Structure 1
Amino acid sequence: MALNNSHRALGRARTPLLPARRAAAGAGGAAVLGSVLLGTAFTGGAAHANDLALMEDSSSSQSTSAEQAPAADTASTSAESSAETLRRGDSGTSVEQLQSALNDRGADLPVTGFFGSMTEDAVQDVQSSAGIAVDGVVGPDTRAALEGGSGSVDSGSEATISTTSVSTGGASVSTASTSSSGSAIVDKARTAVGTPYSWGGSSLSGMDCSGLVNFAYEAAGIDVPRTSGQIEAQGRSISQSEAQPGDLVTWPGHVAIYAGDGMIIDASGSKQQVVERPIWGNPTGFVTYR
């Protein structure tokens, strides 16, 4: 009898574990979904087709990012979730409106809808001129300065060239500036050819794929996100036939700069350096920030 009672007790002890397992599986699924929606840190080497030599330990860091992604979602890094405050890293139509307002005050920003370092610099110039806190964050005081203040942001340019503009998903971009920025991006990227591949790097001492994009786009004064997943998600999707030099070609976990004539410049994990080569494999898409 004692044995039978013991078995029944064990059986009862085991039964509640099944819902717990299901709950754990559901939580894990939610974490993975959060990471897909938000992107993970340094996804530039997460799943590099044809470039399998990207840091093998990236899987552990991605797992951590995936588990933390829902918290980031709650914090809301998207400009869409906050009509009152905008800051570096935000994106969306609110950032496009901010960039247009900054341009009205003399800045020279491509209206990309992404709040990066150059947009932050322009915001800080407005704040400094208005005599308010210079923190790069667009709150009520900064909005008031933009909407009612006078003066202009120092754009570092003595002349403005008027050209025909074309619509790019709600933003107006000059056709002449698009061409010149594309040349600037490609020329800058070519100066990095031969630079060693370095996970998380973005300088001539070493860079990864998204680091190269940031390095080259800075030369054209265009803000882009830091990771390949964010770059692909926040750029404007275009067809391969629409791609111009300076636009971007994407693969799962990898991004390259389109150089024209079927060529790209990218920081290759397998070759362990920045190279210029033909488009390889099957890209998942083409995106532009211009």
Structure 2
Amino acid sequence: MAKHNSHRAPGRPVNGAARLAYKGIGGAAMLGTVVVGSAFAAQGASAAPAAPAAPADVTAVTPAAPVTPVATASLSSGSTLYQGSRGDRVEDLQQLLNDHGAGLAVDGKFGPRTHAAVVDYQRDNGLQVDGRVGPQTRASLNGGSSDSGSTSSSSSSSSTSGSSIVNIARQYIGVNYSYAGSSPSGFDCSGLTSYVYSKVGIDLPRTSSAQAAGGTRISKSEARPGDLVVWSGHVGIYAGDNKVVDAGSSKGSVSERTIWGSPSFVTYR
């Protein structure tokens, strides 16, 4: 039987797959041709600095457009507004009430819904609740102080207003009584009260019955100088100390006298 010669003939090339070890550069034994190649590649690599990271995307910021202020309505000074009033000032009133959540139609007509919204606003803001928009309610709607802390200030203002009403009324003591008169040339009872109140910016209805119905009914103990004293078919201005300034046909002129009978008291402040 022939025997295989396990000895390589001199000069026979070494098969790459059969090689077990190869002396690589630096004397280290490297296994396999792939490893040898990797060693050469690793040794040949240079320690180059890392490439700088690409800058992050920058989102352009567009400046915000300027905000245009929204025009806010304001209520100009003038006569007191009440149910039945109409016009541009009522529209301004309705817009201001809507700013406080009233939800009114801005139609310039002071009807029951506007009256109810005024009452709600006055109640919520510590004002005299009468459904009428006079100086105090107007100032509050225009941005004046209207919290409960302003109550003492409001009371002081009302007191001053009441004194002014009485003082103005007293200027006309002695003026002749004139049926349907509403000027210093002659007054009837409601003509005097409406004329005097207009001097302090409060617009009263013209007749005594309408004046009695348009304000807020109060007790005598609640009455302050400047409120109205009301009898059936007659009205005057409370002067305090159980006195009234009125234009009475029985007296024939404007006078200040002691209150008689059992009248009612009405306030518009």
- TM-score after normalising by structure 2: 0.50
Larger radius of gyration: 2
Question: Which structure exhibits the higher relative contact order, with contacts defined as CA atoms closer than 8 Å and separated by 6 or more residues?
Answer: 1
Higher helix share: 1
